[in-house]
Amino acid sequence: MATGVDAKLLKSTKFPPEFNQKVDMQKVNIQVMKKWIASTVTTILGNEDDVVIELIFNLIEGGRFPDIKSLQIQLTGFLDKDTATFCKDLWKLLLSAQSSPQGVPKELLEAKKQELLQEKLIKLLKRLDRGAKNSSAATVAEVGEEVEGEATLGVDVVMIVIEVASVAAVVGLALHPAIVTVVEIGEIEGTAEAFVGV
């Protein structure tokens, strides 16, 4: 229920065009979105504020089609200058989620995929380090074979692969062709960012 002040703010505030699109919360995996909301609000505020987080949960779960404009007005006192950015990001994710068969935003799926790939490469780097101590070239080949199966690599992942190659070069181990390709492309383009098109 909007107060008179809220109603005036709704009329006078300029909202992004995305806010004119409706989100059907029945098509959204709310548990995934709750994790994102809690994490993002905690980052913005610098601490975990259950009151603000629960308020947001209640506002987006209050009806089948939440009102993002009203939500932004109600959150302004809590998130201050970060309110508009938070609401825009939230709404884009909700719009993406309702279009997804699993109800999960493709952006969060991609971020999770990159996170898992990074974890995998970090484990492989540790294996490479253990292999270097044992002078085992097989470990480098295993790293290369596992990297070769990945279609896309983020900047951080490319940097890890380049670090793997650097460690291997220092200890004189043979590199798998997949690692050599990543390193050569990174060196040709000058940076890992150029390799992944950032």
Side chain identity at residue 66, one-letter code: P
Helix (H, G, I), strand (E, B) or coil at 137: helix
SS (H, E, C) 80-135: HHHHHHHHHHHHHHHHHHHHCCCCCCHHHHHHHHHHHHHHHHHHHHHHHHHHHHCC
pLDDT tens column, 51-81? 999 999 999 999 999 999 999 999 999 999 9
User: Model-level pTM greater than 0.75?
Assistant: no
pLDDT tens column, 112-135? 888 877 777 777 767 666 655 554
Q: Are 178 and 147 a contacting pair, CB within 8 Å?
A: yes
- Domains with residue ranges and CATH for the chain: 4-104 (1.20.1390.10), 111-196 (no CATH)
Q: How many CB atoms sit inside 10 A of residue 131's CB? A: 22
